[in-house]
Amino acid sequence: MRCPMVAGNWKMQGTRASVAELIEGLRRQELPEAVEVAVFPSMLHLSRVSDALAGTVLRVGAQDCAVQSEQGALTGEVAASQLVDGGCKLVLVGHSERRLILGESDSVVVRKFAAVKSTGMTPVLCVGETREQREAGFTLAVVAAQLAAVTDALGVQSLHNAVVAYEPVWAIGTGLTATPEQAQAVHASIRAQVARLDAEIAEGLRILYGGSVKAANAAELFGMQDIDGGLVGGASLNADEFGAICRAAGM
């Protein structure tokens, strides 16, 4: 049995005041025990959120990290080892906003994935196709290549205790959600790809769906066989909505 996970990606949002309010709202939520819940604040707020949520079941993750795991001369970046020191347990790697807006290549994503792994944190590898790629029939090929970049470079063992998030780019922040069937088809394909390399790792791998997940559609999505929870952007900025999504994952 895979333990479902719901991850809240706060992206480049929040002020000290709004983050304090969100933390208070999260602390009031009744969260299901059988679901792992994590929030991913901006680097600026990370250690503060981690301190404020200490002693709760909520874990804290970072949205990105440097390509090298140790501290050093790399202006503007944060090393995975510094994230550990800041109370981080997970790191998003290869979010489509970083791939597409900031030009992050598969090889950079692989180095970040390796840096996270080397510290013992959990990488959440984000994969997904653009609208044009879906319309051209390339969805499964695009996702397979993004995943293969990691397994080819680091081996399938690197997916042990890692998480994959399938996020169709056309569904992120657009209000358009993949149907449960569309998402399930991609999740099943990801799991089959890993199973061809190692059946046990594939069985234990948590694959989250992301892209306009909200309380109203979460249960349907999470009910699919290979969907093990969600990576939630916009809806994670509202504590009550996020709490409801977490409860949907526990049903």
Question: Who contacts 201 (Cβ-Cβ below 8 Å, separation ≥6)?
Answer: 156, 157, 159, 160, 194
| Residues that are catalytic | 95, 167
Closer residue to ligand PGA (CB): 139 or 212: 212
Summary count for the chain: helices (H), strands (E): 11, 8
Q: Which of 56, 148, 157, 173 binds ligand PGA (CB under 6 A)?
A: 173
Give the type of residue at 221: L
Strands (E), the chain: 5-9, 36-40, 59-62, 90-93, 122-127, 163-166, 206-210, 229-232
Residue 107 beta carbon to ligand PGA: minimum distance, rounded to whole angstroms: 22
CB of 231 closer than 8 Å to CB of 7: yes
Closer residue to ligand PGA (CB): 119 or 209: 209
Residue 118 beta carbon to ligand PGA: minimum distance, rounded to whole angstroms: 24
Binding mask 4-43 for ligand PGA (x = CB under 6 A): -----x----------------------------------
* 167 near ligand PGA, rule: CB under 6 A: yes
Q: Which of 172, 201, 208, 246 binds ligand PGA (CB under 6 A)?
A: 172
CB of 96 closer than 8 Å to CB of 128: yes
Question: Who contacts 15 (Cβ-Cβ below 8 Å, separation ≥6)?
Answer: none
Residue 230 beta carbon to ligand PGA: minimum distance, rounded to whole angstroms: 8
CB of 43 closer than 8 Å to CB of 66: no
Residue 29 beta carbon to ligand PGA: minimum distance, rounded to whole angstroms: 18
For ligand PGA, the binding residues in 200-239 under the rule CB under 6 A are 210-213, 231-235
Closer residue to ligand PGA (CB): 173 or 223: 173
CB of 53 closer than 8 Å to CB of 38: no
Taken in order 77, 101, 133, 61, is the CA torsion positive or negative?
positive
Select the residue whose beta carbon is closest to ligand PGA and give its number.
233
Interface residue list for ligand PGA (CB under 6 A): 9, 167, 172-173, 210-213, 231-235
